[in-house]
């Protein structure tokens, strides 16, 4: 089964395909198996990357500990680490360009055969900017990338 996972309903609405909304912080994750394909799409904050950029994280790591794992890449997109925290991150924990969310670490830990991740940078670690962010062109790019991989 293919699960398309977004944190917020507004991300699912913007993507325009059936999605499973996990809630901010991935509070409502589906029960998955090692045969499932997971697709995580949504907004993220960033340090060193402009809002509107499409990013495919090549690593997921805990903001608190730095522990994480490498991720496979599938898309022609910017590849940087994604740090997952339990709160909205306002200070980077890396000197290198990186993105920040509250879900990817938990999603990557689910049983799965393959994990695909596309993030749209919504802000530079500013929650008000994140809440106000809208970029239909970025969502169209995400849909195009997902269609090329036959995920939607």
Where along the chain do its domains lie? 2-148
Report if pTM > 0.85: yes
Are the C-beta atoms of residues 43 and 20 closer than 8 Å to each other? Answer: no
Residue 43: predicted pLDDT: 98
Q: Where are the alpha helices (DSSP H) in 21-151?
A: 104-108, 127-132, 136-148
pLDDT at res. 101: 98
When computed from its CA atoms, the radius of gyration of the chain, rounded to whole angstroms, is 14
CATH for 2-148, among 3.40.1550.10, 1.10.287.810, 3.30.950.10, 3.40.50.1580?
Answer: 3.40.50.1580
- Structural tokens at position 11: 């991300």
Residue 67: its pLDDT value, please? 94
| C-alpha closest to that of 10 among 124, 120, 148 | 120
Give which of 29, 6, 28 is closest to 122, Cα–Cα: 6
CA distances from 3 to 7, 45, 100, 145 (A): 13, 23, 22, 16
Name 62's Cβ contacts closer than 8 Å, sequence gap at least 6.
Answer: 68, 83, 84, 85, 105
pLDDT along the chain (152 residues), means of 10: 97 97 96 98 98 98 95 96 97 96 98 98 97 96 97 96
Name which of 60, 46, 99, 56 is nearest 76 in CA terms. Answer: 56
Q: What's the pLDDT at 33?
A: 98
CA distance 58 to 139: 20
């Amino acid at each position: 089964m293919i699960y398309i996972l977004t944190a917020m309903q507004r991300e699912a609405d913007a993507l325009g395909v059936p999605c499973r909304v996990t809630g901010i912080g991935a509070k409502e994750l589906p029960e998955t198996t090692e045969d499932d394909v997971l697709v995580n799409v949504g907004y993220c904050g960033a340090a060193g990357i402009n809002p509107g950029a499409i990013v495919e994280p090549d690593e997921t790591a805990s903001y608190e500990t730095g522990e994480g794992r490498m991720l496979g890449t599938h898309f022609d997109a910017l590849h940087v680490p994604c740090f997952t925290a339990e709160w909205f991150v306002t200070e980077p924990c890396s000197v290198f360009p990186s993105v920040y969310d509250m879900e990817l670490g938990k999603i990557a830990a689910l049983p799965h055969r393959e994990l695909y991740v596309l993030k749209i940078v919504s802000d530079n670690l500013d929650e008000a900017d994140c809440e106000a962010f809208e970029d239909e062109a970025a969502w169209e790019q995400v849909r195009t990338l997902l269609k090329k991989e036959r995920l939607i």
